[in-house]
Structure 1
Amino acid sequence: MTNRKTLFAAIAALALLASPALAGAGGNGHGNGGGNSGGGNGGNGNGHGNAGGNSNSNGKSGASHGKSASAPGQVAKTDTDTTASTTADTTTNVSPKEKNIHAKLGRLNSLQRNINAYMNSKSKKFAAIQAFVTQSAKAKNAQTQLDALNAQLAALTSLTPEEIAAMSPEDQAALPGQISDLTEQVAAQQKVVDAAAVGTDPASLDAALTDMANKPVDAEVTAWAQGVLAGKIDQAAAKLQAGTTP
């Protein structure tokens, strides 16, 4: 009888010893040992040893999943920020100075119209500007012709003795007359340029702007108008050069 009790006690002790080891290896461990003896039956002993280990292999991966689950949110936020930044970069911003000048222009904003409007407008308010642009175009073409004549005259008068000697006798004989003729043409064209320049000076521009404007014309407005009208004058000059009457 004593041997059986001893055997059951040993089994229970082994179960208790095994339980912590299994718990450390697997994650959770439970061990129970019990012994009962009943004198009525002479001797009764029961020993139970249970060891259980649960290892949650998803514990770490679950945490990892939780962490990676936040990644799409982060990416989405980054994409949103990038889109917002791109939108901000491509948006055309009008500076306060630009807003201010256009507010000051009033009716003069019409100076941005195309060249056909300048040539064909019947507006009395537009007439002075129209005349200024047309006359400036004529002056521009006159100056272009003068520049061409001066270039020809310079080419003849700058010939070296060696270059003249290399010319045919006929060309050498004609050279003085050509120089004289070009000199006269230059003088005549200079008078055309001077006449065409009348009405194209800054005072004439200010008068034309004032006649058209419905707001005060200051230096800033005048400078803006000069920049816009320069392109219109070039276009009008090209039409005149092509034989199109403004």
Structure 2
Amino acid sequence: MQPEAIKALFDQQAAGYDRQWEKTAPIRQCLHFLLEPVFAGLPEDARILCVGVGTGAEMAHLARRCPGWRFMAVDPSEAMLEVSRRRAEQEGFIDRCVFHAGYVQELPEAPAYDAATCFLVSQFILDIDERAALFRAIAARLRPGGLLASSDLAADTASPEYAVLLEAWMRTMAGAEVPADALERMRRAYGEDVAVLPPAQVEAILRAGGFELPVPFFQAGLIHAWVSRRAAG
């Protein structure tokens, strides 16, 4: 998908996004639960870069667990960022946040952050080199040894296993009361507008983007998540 099309899509969905996906919240909650030990070694005053922060769910989770952490929330959708800002205000950690409506490439290129999150973002970049460039932009803003927790839809779409997994995933979405026409659009999007790649290929993109040793720490259906470390140099 083109960046402006993605921005328009999420601008449109922002107000009701959390409500729409409420029945799939256990997936998100499990990801955030497993994110805690992944980031457990970070400093008490860590600075966290949240790329494609959306409605701010992972930022809020980390803010509740780690009262000394500060956050840079980045999202091209101003509507999504406004939901994230309201969440931070309601939960009392807005004084620890900076919000940037735009792209991570627009931030100063300096090693300012101890860790980053990038959940369900890079899958929307169809060009592999551009996808790696996103990760390079994140790496350039992490301190030496900085951690990245990233997730994307991933599968070998040419395999017979994918057909089984996709049907199960569609039933999961149907159980979340996603309308039938939206499910059909989602199914088409996975073949046209979303770069669903084999996990090994996503890991190769992370390496090309300046990260080393991508380690899977979570999978639920089509969603895979990795932790990796900014490569030396």
Give the alignment's TM-score, normalised by structure 1.
0.17
Structure in which a larger fraction of residues adopt strand: 2
Q: Which has the larger radius of gyration?
A: 1
Structure in which a larger fraction of residues adopt helix: 1
